[in-house]
Amino acid sequence: MDEVLRVLQMLKAGKIRREEAERLLAALGVGPSSEEGVRRWLRIEGGQATIRVVPAPGDAVSASGFGAGKTILTTDETGGLLKIEAQGPKLFKKAFRVELKLPRDYGVELALGAGALRAESLAGLKGELGTGRLEAAGIRELDFELGMGTARLGLLLKAGEHRLELGMGDVEIYPLPGASFRIEGEAGLGQVEGRVFGEGRARLLVELGMGRLKVES
């Protein structure tokens, strides 16, 4: 994520050209030359955890837990399932951390009560997080619900229908070079401003209960 943001900041400041930015992002696995769509999904289930997703050097998926708890990983040709079992008092459960190594064509389906997900490069994101924080870049498929918390997402949407729902909190969205989508939405308390990036081929529906949507161009 830090590397992606650094490239985008250099592009915005005029220090590099768009073509150079696209080459750098592609090397990080989040540029427009990346694999289109999501070929496989890994479902993550658990009560509470902090998850860091890093690109796998090969095609294998691996997960390591740090703290009071354990991870149970099963995979197949379509993706797989990662069960996270944090143990001990609530404070220990909150501190349980998982490092997940995923190939670049994987998306994550999250079913987590509380915690955080941080991904350097993630092809797709769907599912729900009860309360917590999301930070990911390179997303080409999105259908996610965050009950309460914050999200910062770098999007590479190019076609189809996508959705992001937030009950309470703040969402920050920034398009990656090569993205083509339009933002539509509604808010209970707040405002969702319609925006178009590229040719606007994909549609992103944003639903806010009580919160704020910030869109960086």
77-112 residue pLDDT tens:
999 999 999 887 776 667 799 999 999 899 999 999
Q: Residue 202 pLDDT > 80, yes or no?
A: yes
The answer to whether the beta carbons of residues 175 and 169 sit under 8 Å apart is no
Distance CA 161, CA 184 (A): 11
Q: What is the pLDDT of residue 92?
A: 63
Report yes or no on whether pTM surpasses 0.85: yes
Query: Which pLDDT tens digit goes with each residue over 40-53?
Result: 999 999 989 999 99
Q: Which tops the pLDDT comparison, 7 or 53?
A: 53
Q: What is the pLDDT of residue 17?
A: 80
Q: Which tops the pLDDT comparison, 155 or 17?
A: 155
| Residues of the chain above pLDDT 70, percent | 92
Mean pLDDT of the chain: 88
Provide the 10 A C-beta neighbour count for residue 94. Answer: 14
Q: Residue 39 pLDDT > 60, yes or no?
A: yes
Distance CA 168, CA 213 (A): 11
